[in-house]
Structure formats: C-alpha cells, structure tokens
A = this chain, B = another copy of it.
Amino acid sequence: METNAATGLEDPAYRAAVVDLLGVLAYGELTACIRMATDSDLAPSLRLKAKMVGFAAAEYRQYELLVDRLTEIGAEAEESMQPFVVPFSAFHTRTAPRSWVEGLVKAYVGDGIAKDFYREMASFVDEETREVMDRALDDAGTGEFIVGVVRDVIRTDPTAKGRLSLWGRRLLGEALSQGQAVAVERDALSGLLIGRGADLAQIGQMFTRLTDRHSERMTRLGLTP
C-alpha cells in the first residue's frame, strides 16, 4: 500500500472526496449490474440474454475493484456507498424502462453520462485512485452491443426512433437533476473540483462537455439528441 503522503490522502477533505467518488462509482456499478441482469430477462433471445448477463458480470468485477480500493485506503465500502442509495433509487424510480430496448438505451445513455462525469473527476485525483477508476470505467463492449441492438430496432420499427429519442432526453434531464442533488449534498465532491483549482467557468465547460458527449451517444444510437 502506498503511503498517504504520496497520494494526498492525509488531507481529510481530499480523502472524503475520494471516498465519495469511489463510493458513488461502486454503488453505480452495483446497481448497473443489477439493472443489466434484471433487464436481461426481457431479452428476445437466449444469445442476447447471455450477452447481457456477461456485461452484468463485468460490472460486478468493476464494483469489486472499487471496493478493494476503498478497503485499501481504510474506508468501509458499504458506508461509502450508503449516501448514494437514495438518489440512485430516486433516479431509477423516475426512469423505469417500459421495454427491453428502453432498458438498453437507459444503460447506454444513463451510465454514459455518469461515467463521463466520473472521468472528469478522475483528473482531480491521485494516480493510484485514477488507475482504479479507469479500469472501473472501461465499458467492456457493452456500448457497442447496445448501439447494434438499438439501430436494429429502429430499422424494423419506424415509430421507435421518435419514442426512444424522447426517452433519451428524459434520461439526460433526470440524470443531471439527480447529479445536481448529489453534488449539493456531498460537499466533499464539489470541494474536490473547487479545491483543485477549477473555477466556475471550468465547471460550466465541464457540463457543456457532458451534454455534448450525451448528444454524440444519442447520434451513435441513431436517435435525435
């Protein structure tokens, strides 16, 4: 284990931010794993079902990496995830997919926004933490799979494009509003941005990047951003 001095973890505010960041990411992976496995039950073929469960299993392995890192820096994993249970549950209640393909769009678009945000935050943390985050943020082929499925659905069902585009926009709105709620509540997380020298203009640019990348994802799916 590295010494705290090498990572900046001896600073309580920084440490709290890292624990929050790893905690929210770990809980995000755990719920993404559960959602993917649950949605796999609606898959129209055994091949698609098995693929989705494989992605769920990959998300569980990423969850384990994050739990290991939390343990390594002396944090209790469940305690670190606990603050994010309610906001995640609120997001999922407000965005319950009504079909298999809506679930896939949600996984791609929702996890995409969240992971872009975590990638932005990763530039503010120490190398060891960033390395774990990078591995946990790898998409393991899930995106490519979902893009293929959604494009197929749009090709065969002409009403799907409009409906799923609307769904994607709603997911962005809900994700940003829940993200904001978390940021307000978790001082340490927003402190990480400010404390590491990001000014308001830079935070604004970050949000522009997040919505730009959301639009790119929607386009990749064949949907209207």
The oligomer's copy count stands at 2
Is the C-beta of A111 less than 8 angstroms from some C-beta in chain B?
Answer: no
Question: Of B27, B38, B46, B81, which one neighbours A37 at CB under 8 angstroms?
Answer: B38
Q: Is the CB of B30 within 8 A of A53?
A: yes
Contact yes or no, A81 B38, CB < 8 A: no
In chain A, residues 90-139, which have Cβ atoms closer than 8 Å to a Cβ of chain B?
none
**Stretch of A8-16, A54-62, A175-183 with 4 or more beta carbons under 8 angstroms from chain B:** A54-62
**Inside 8 A of A27's CB, which chain B residues have their CB?**
46
> Chain B residues with Cβ under 8 A from A57's Cβ?
33, 57, 60-61
**Prevailing SS type, chain A contact patch:** helix
Q: Does A53 contact B60, Cβ atoms closer than 8 Å? A: yes
Number of interface residues of A (CB under 8 A): 24
Tell whether A161 is near chain B: CB-to-CB under 8 Å. Answer: no
Assuming the A-B contacts A46-B85, A57-B60, A85-B46, are A34 and B30 also in contact, with contact meaning beta carbons closer than 8 angstroms in the complex?
Answer: no
> A47 to B138, alpha carbons, bound, how many Å?
25
CA distance A47 to B79 in the complex (A): 10
C-alpha spacing A78/B82, complex, angstroms: 39
Interface residues of A in 17-49 (CB under 8 A from B): 27, 30, 33-34, 37-38, 40-41, 46-47, 49
Give the interface of A toward B (CB within 8 A). Answer: 27, 30, 33-34, 37-38, 40-41, 46-47, 49-50, 53-54, 56-57, 60-61, 63, 77-78, 81-82, 85
